Structure 1
Amino acid sequence: MTKTILITGATDGIGLLTAKKLSGQGHTILLHGRSAEKLSAAAAEVGGTPQTYRADLSQLDEVAALAEALRIDHSQIDVVINNAGVLKLPDPRTEAGLDARFVVNTLAPYLLVQLLLPVLPKAGRVVNLSSAAQAPVDVAALRGNGTLDDMAAYAQSKLAITIWTQEVARAHQDGPLFIAVNPGSLLASKMVKEGFGVAGNDLSIGADILCRAALSEDFSKASGKYFDNDRGGFNEPHSAAADADHVAAVMAAIQELVSQNRAG
């Protein structure tokens, strides 16, 4: 059965390759990106008849508008792959005074999914991009108070998305599924090349596991779990994800920030 699959950050890297692989299987692909020009190029490369959606995920009002456009166009979206992410930015502070690394990597996917729940079926899936790089979240920095270096912000944002994955899954035990995936370390993405100055490993390592997480029966009982592709299986995330007080503080901050900063 073919599915309708949304992939954020789909104009290059793992997102684009995942889109190509899933399109090749006959699925309806919804591509998200920041640049209309890059979206057009990606759509041509993906082939078939993908639909494109432009939004800057560092601006939560644009995330809300993206969700609205998707709901208008589609009565059902079977899979959401929250692939978009950032590591290094010239100025990480948004106009709202938040750290864009937390906004793009943690808050935007949370808001997008919350707004798409009406069109996500019980059998649907949300695949969130986590990372082997995880660190306890500085909740003050998440709230926009204080500064973090690139790797600290990235690692904390990835633990934060892993935390909300497990917590939202707990709140939706009848579905859809919510899965956090480390697609593999140092893959040959633009982020890795710019952030670490290395060519990186085969992108197919990451794209293949995202396709599996989106569709395979191997993940059908995995809601709330963390899959570490470096280790080839499900694993425990950073121990802070099991600290009830830390989890509660992170979730409270995420929910408040999303409520305060999105349009309407």
Structure 2
Amino acid sequence: MKKNILITGSTDGIGLLAAKQLAKQGHQVIIHGRNPDKLTQVKQQMDNNLAVKVTAFSADLSDLTQVENLAEKIEQKGIKLDVLVNNAGIFRTDKPLTNEGLDVRFVVNTLAPYWLSKKLCKKMAKKGRIINLSSAAQAPWDKGAMLGHTRLTDNQAYAQSKLAIAAWTYHLAHQPLYQDIDWISLNPASLLGSKMVKEAYGVNGKDLSIGANIIVKLATDATLAAQNGRYFDNDIGQFSYPHDFALHEANNQMLIEILEHLAQRLLPEQTRQAV
């Protein structure tokens, strides 16, 4: 069965490879990128080389208003998603703080996919699936850092943001309002040869197709519904468990409260009330 699949951060790296694989299989792929020019270039290349035309949307996920607008554009196009892959992420950047003084890793890696998922899941096809890219790098999140009061190193912010996305995936999967959706968090594999890994660690890394292949599998395998809310660790090739901190309801409830508080700070009241 062919699916409508949105992959954020799909103008390079494993997101782009996964998008190409899914389009070759005949799925309707929606790509996303921050840079409109690069996004247009990638769309043209895919359209010229694949039988299925792709749809493209640009948005800077460090700006929650643009995240909101992205969801609205998809709804206005009448696209009924079957799968959302929250792949976009940041490790190191020359601008680690947003205009509001928040660590951009928490905004892009944790808050933006949380808000996009909440906005889109109500309009997704029955038993749609949301796949959230986590990482083997995981650490308990610091509330002060998430709220912009404490500064972290690149490694600290990335690890905390990536555990947090696995945590809210687990939490939402067990909420009655969201149980029509299959929720999965994913470590696509450690030290893949992405631009992020090369910039962060100065190594070429492993074959990107390792990460792209598991995204494609999780997006299309109907047998995975029973794994709702779980964490797939592609370093071992099976479902496993994230850091213990993300398995405690009190911690996850605290995280949700932080994310909702940040949304209140960053979005107009009428937008917040609509979710």
Work out whether the TM-score is over 0.5.
Answer: yes
Aligned residue for 2:75?
71
The yes-or-no answer on 1:6 pairing with 2:11 is no
The yes-or-no answer on 1:100 pairing with 2:104 is yes
User: C-alpha distance in 2, partners of 1:14/1:117?
Assistant: 23
Aligned residue for 2:220?
215
| TM-score, normalised via structure 2 length | 0.93
Aligned residue for 1:251?
256
Code of the residue aligned with 1:38 in structure 2: it is K
User: C-alpha distance in 2, partners of 1:198/1:175?
Assistant: 41
Q: CA deviation at 1:75?
A: 4.2
User: Does the 8 A contact of 1:122 with 1:174 survive in 2?
Assistant: no
Aligned residue for 2:210?
205
Q: Which moved more, 1:85-94 or 1:37-46?
A: 37-46
Any gaps of 5 or more consecutive residues in structure 1? Answer: none
Code of the residue aligned with 2:244 in structure 1: it is S
Q: Number of residues paired by the alignment?
A: 264
User: C-alpha distance in 1, partners of 2:5/2:222?
Assistant: 17
Superposed CA RMSD in Å reads 1.2
User: Does the 8 A contact of 1:121 with 1:175 survive in 2?
Assistant: no
The yes-or-no answer on 1:166 pairing with 2:176 is no
1:161-214 alpha-carbon deviations (Å, 9 max, x no partner): 000000111114642111000000111111011111111111110001001111
Code of the residue aligned with 1:81 in structure 2: it is V
User: Does the 8 A contact of 1:74 with 1:119 survive in 2?
Assistant: no
User: Does the 8 A contact of 2:189 with 2:211 survive in 1?
Assistant: yes
Aligned residue for 2:180?
175
Any gaps of 5 or more consecutive residues in structure 2? Answer: none
1:34-86 alpha-carbon deviations (Å, 9 max, x no partner): 11111122213333311110100000000000000011012411100000000
Aligned residue for 2:22?
22
1:38-57 matches, cutoff 5 A: 38-46=38-46, 47=50, 48-57=52-61
SS at match of 1:250: helix
Q: CA deviation at 1:247?
A: 1.8
Aligned residue for 2:240?
235
Q: CA deviation at 1:91?
A: 2.1
User: Does the 8 A contact of 1:166 with 1:178 survive in 2?
Assistant: yes
Q: CA deviation at 1:218?
A: 3.7
SS at match of 1:136: coil
User: C-alpha distance in 1, partners of 2:148/2:36?
Assistant: 29
User: C-alpha distance in 1, partners of 2:265/2:228?
Assistant: 28
Code of the residue aligned with 1:182 in structure 2: it is N
After the TM superposition, which segments of 4 or more aligned residues of structure 1 sit over 4 Å from their partners?
Answer: none
User: C-alpha distance in 2, partners of 1:53/1:8?
Assistant: 9
Partner of residue 66 from structure 2, selected from 57, 62, 65: 62
Aligned residue for 2:126?
122
Q: CA deviation at 1:4?
A: 0.6
User: Does the 8 A contact of 2:171 with 2:249 survive in 1?
Assistant: no
Sequence identity of aligned pairs in percent?
A: 46
